[in-house]
């Protein structure tokens, strides 16, 4: 998908995917994953999600990656950090406050191996059309440590009833993308509340929550 699609969506205010509260499934399932203070968590395509704040509140070192610079600036401004430290490398512009770093640039250029104890994805995989998901999964598989966890939230629905994004990602595809490196547990599959009028109109809609653990 052309990055300009998402930049235009931000500029036009078409950001119904952004929530003003912490994601309920993050709050419910992350504590079951036995994380330790000081461990590192990666949040792909993070936008300006407040989930970064919640993760930081657990004593975790939080790294988000986001394409659109204005969303990154808005995150820090809206959460009371109007002057983040800004640094630049050949791939990303990094905005940092305390143990929260949001890197602005192309997620697919993330080149880190065994760097993260947890990856949290509640809106990244479903933002990508099918041809891009394999490459995304390869970045994820490189980035998480052996023994590390991956909390993944996706939508499953009859794709003939709605054109994404958010795209439908079914259970077979999750296994096809990840089972070579991860043990996969489907924690729940339920119709979600409060996902907006567009998704609510899809009768077959389910929200699937997975916890994956990286094998050696």
pLDDT for residue 195: 76
pLDDT for residue 198: 84
pLDDT for residue 10: 55
pLDDT at 12 over 80: no
pLDDT at 149 over 70: yes
pLDDT band at residue 14, thresholds of 50, 70 and 90? low
Segment holding 102, helix H or strand E = strand 100-104
Q: Which residue has the higher pLDDT, 63 or 164?
A: 63
| Alpha-carbon dihedral angle through residues 190, 194, 200, 203, given to the nearest 10 degrees | 20
Q: Which residue has the tokens 């490398």?
A: 89
Calpha distance 138→38 (Å, rounded):
25
- Residues 89-139 have pLDDT tens digits of 999 999 999 999 999 999 999 999 999 999 999 999 999 999 999 999 999
When pLDDT is averaged across residues 29-35 and rounded to a whole number, the result is 95
Portion of the chain with pLDDT greater than 70, in percent: 91
Closest by CA position to 179, among listed 152, 206, 207: 152
β-strand partners of 184: 212
CB neighbourhood size of 105 (10 A): 19
β-strand partners of 179: none
**Could you give the maximum distance between any two Cα atoms of the chain, in Å?**
46
pLDDT band at residue 19, thresholds of 50, 70 and 90? low
pTM exceeds 0.85:
yes
- Residues 188-206 have pLDDT tens digits of 999 998 777 788 889 999 9
When pLDDT is averaged across residues 161-186 and rounded to a whole number, the result is 95
Tell me the CATH number for domain 3-10+20-214: 3.40.50.150
Residue 86: what are its φ and ψ, rounded to 5°? -115, 125
**Strand bridging mode 116-121 / 40-44:** parallel
């Amino acid at each position: 998908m052309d990055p300009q699609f998402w930049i235009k969506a931000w500029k036009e205010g078409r950001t119904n995917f952004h929530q003003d509260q912490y994601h309920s499934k993050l709050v419910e399932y992350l504590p079951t994953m036995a994380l330790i203070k000081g461990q590192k968590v990666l949040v792909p395509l993070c936008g300006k999600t407040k989930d970064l704040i919640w993760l930081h509140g657990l004593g975790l070192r939080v790294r988000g990656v986001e394409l659109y610079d204005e969303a990154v600036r808005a995150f820090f401004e809206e959460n009371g950090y109007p002057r983040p430290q800004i640094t630049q490398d050949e791939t990303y512009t990094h905005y940092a406050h305390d143990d929260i770093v949001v890197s602005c640039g192309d997620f697919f250029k993330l080149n880190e191996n065994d760097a993260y104890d947890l990856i949290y994805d509640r809106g990244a995989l479903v933002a990508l059309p099918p041809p891009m998901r394999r490459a995304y999964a390869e970045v994820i598989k490189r980035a998480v440590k052996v023994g590390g966890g991956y909390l993944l939230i996706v939508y499953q629905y009859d794709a003939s009833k709605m054109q994404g994004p958010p795209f439908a990602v079914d259970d077979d595809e999750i296994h096809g993308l990840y089972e070579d490196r991860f043990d996969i547990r489907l924690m729940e599959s339920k119709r979600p509340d409060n996902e907006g009028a567009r998704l609510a109109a899809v009768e077959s809609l389910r929200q699937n929550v997975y916890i994956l653990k990286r094998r050696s």
